[in-house]
Amino acid sequence: MNQEHAHQLQVGIEAVKSREISNFYFVACGGSMATLTPAQYILDREIEIPSAVYSSNEFILRAPKALGPTSVVISCSHSGTTPETVQATEFARSKGALTISLTHLADSPLWNAAEYKLHYDWGTDARAEDNNYGILYRLIFGILDALQPHEKYARAIASVETGLHDAFERNKAMTLEAAKAFGSQFKREPLIYTMASGINYSHAYSFAICLLQEMQWIHSSAIHAGEYFHGPFEITDYDVPFIIIKGIGETRSMDDRAHDFCRKYSDKIVLIDAETFDMEGISADVRNYFANLIAGVVLRQYAQYLSEFRGHPLSVRRYMWKMEY
C-alpha cells in the first residue's frame, strides 16, 4: 500500500470531518463520472446528507443553488486535464465548497485546481487498493467512519486494503474462458445493449459509452433494469444482444425480473452474475457494495477479448485526442 496515498486520504477525510457538511457532489465526465457513481450510491444508503452525481459541464451550467461552503465536491479525471472537470472543480472552489480530486497525474491542472488531492495508481502493476476505485472506496468509507463511526466502515476499508486485489485477480481468472467465448460469439454484432440497476448501473453505463461506443464503435445504450419494462423491453427480440449485470443484495430482484423476461425473447444474453463471484477477503456485510467493482474488472476482460476477435484495439480512436472538439 502506497503511504503517500494513505496520507492524502487522511488529510482529505480530516478536512471533511472538520466542516459542517450539507451535501456531497460527485462531478466528472464519462468513464470517470461512472467511476464516482458507486460512491454516491453508498452515501445514499448510509447517510442522511444528500448527494448527487453530475457530468462536469452540466454541473457548472446548471449551477445547483445548494452548492456552497457546506458542500463537498469530489471530482475525478484520469489524466487530470479534462477541461470541464478542472473548471467544475474551480467553480466549486469559488463557491467555497471543499474540493477533493482524484487523478492519476499529480501536478496536473485538476490536481492544482482542488484543495485536497488524491493520487491513484494505474496500469498492469497497480494494486487494487491504490487504483481509482480503491482510493475512492477508502475515501468514502473513511468519510462515513469519520462522520458516523461504525465497525462496518472499518471492515469495508480493510476489505479494500487486504482483499480487493486478490479478488480481482481470482475472478478475472475464473471468467477468462467466458470472456473469450463472448469475444468470439459477439464479434459481428453492430449493437449490444447493457443492463443493470442499483450500484451496478454505472458499470452498464461505462461499458456502453466507453468500451462499446468509444473503443469498439459498437452501438449501445445502458438500460436501467427497472426502467426496462417501461419502454425499452419492446425492442427485445431473438437477435438483440444484452449484457446483463445481476448484483447481489438489495436491488437484485430488479435484475432478476429483467433477466427473466429478457432471456425469454432474446437468444443473445450475456449474464454477469455477481452471485457467482468469489468474494473471499471482502467482509460479508459490505459485499453488496463491492460486487460491482468485480463486475467492472470482469467486463473489462470481456471487452479485451471482443477487441481481439474484432481486430479493433481498445486504444483506437477516430476523433478523441485527434482534433479540437
CB 100 within 8 A of CB 36: no
Q: Which three cell numbers stand for residue 158?
A: 480493510
Among residues 96 and 176, whose Cβ is nearest to a copy of itself? 96
Among residues 134 and 232, whose Cβ is nearest to a copy of itself? 232
Sign of CA dihedral 29, 289, 128, 176: negative
Q: How far is the CB of 23 from a copy of itself (least distance, A)?
A: 6
d(CA 14, CA 17): 5
The one segment of 152-160, 164-172, 204-212, 299-307 that binds a copy of itself by CB under 8 A: 204-212
DSSP state of 70: T
Among residues 7 and 317, whose Cβ is nearest to a copy of itself? 317
* Count of other CB atoms within 10 angstroms of residue 73: 25
CB 4 within 8 A of CB 119: yes
Q: How far is the CB of 170 from a copy of itself (least distance, A)?
A: 28
d(CA 72, CA 16): 7
Q: How far is the CB of 5 from a copy of itself (least distance, A)?
A: 25
**SS3 of residue 183 by DSSP:** helix
Q: Which three cell numbers stand for residue 101?
A: 480530486
- Interaction of residue 321 with a copy of itself, rule CB under 8 A: no
Q: How far is the CB of 96 from a copy of itself (least distance, A)?
A: 14
Through-space distance between the first and last CA atoms of the chain, rounded to whole angstroms: 38
Task: Name residues contacting a copy of itself, limited to 16-55 (CB under 8 A).
Answer: 23, 29-33, 41, 44-50, 52, 55
Task: Name residues contacting a copy of itself, limited to 125-164 (CB under 8 A).
Answer: none
* One character per residue 264-303, x = contact with a copy of itself (rule: CB under 8 A): -x--------------------------------------
Among residues 8 and 51, whose Cβ is nearest to a copy of itself? 51
Of 87, 213, 276, 304, which one interacts with a copy of itself (CB under 8 A)?
Answer: 213
Q: How far is the CB of 60 from a copy of itself (least distance, A)?
A: 9
Q: How far is the CB of 14 from a copy of itself (least distance, A)?
A: 24
CB 128 within 8 A of CB 160: yes
Of 164, 209, 244, 272, which one interacts with a copy of itself (CB under 8 A)?
Answer: 209
Q: Which three cell numbers stand for residue 46?
A: 448510509
* One character per residue 222-261, x = contact with a copy of itself (rule: CB under 8 A): x-x-xx-xxxxxxxx-------------xx-xx--x---x
Among residues 5 and 252, whose Cβ is nearest to a copy of itself? 252
d(CA 45, CA 67): 21
Among residues 49 and 178, whose Cβ is nearest to a copy of itself? 49
Distances in Å between the Cα of 42 and the Cα atoms of 132, 136, 141, 199, 246 are 16, 11, 9, 8, 18
Which among 31, 23, 15 is positioned nearest to 300, based on CA atoms?
Answer: 31
Residue ranges in 125-269 assigned as alpha helix (H) = 132-147, 151-162, 164-174, 176-186, 201-206, 215-216, 252-265
Among residues 226 and 281, whose Cβ is nearest to a copy of itself? 226
Q: How far is the CB of 48 from a copy of itself (least distance, A)?
A: 5
d(CA 61, CA 56): 9
Which residues in this chain contact a copy of itself in the complex, by CB under 8 A?
23, 29-33, 41, 44-50, 52, 55-58, 61-66, 68, 82, 84, 191, 197-198, 208-210, 213-215, 217-222, 224, 226-227, 229-236, 250-251, 253-254, 257, 261, 265, 317-320, 325
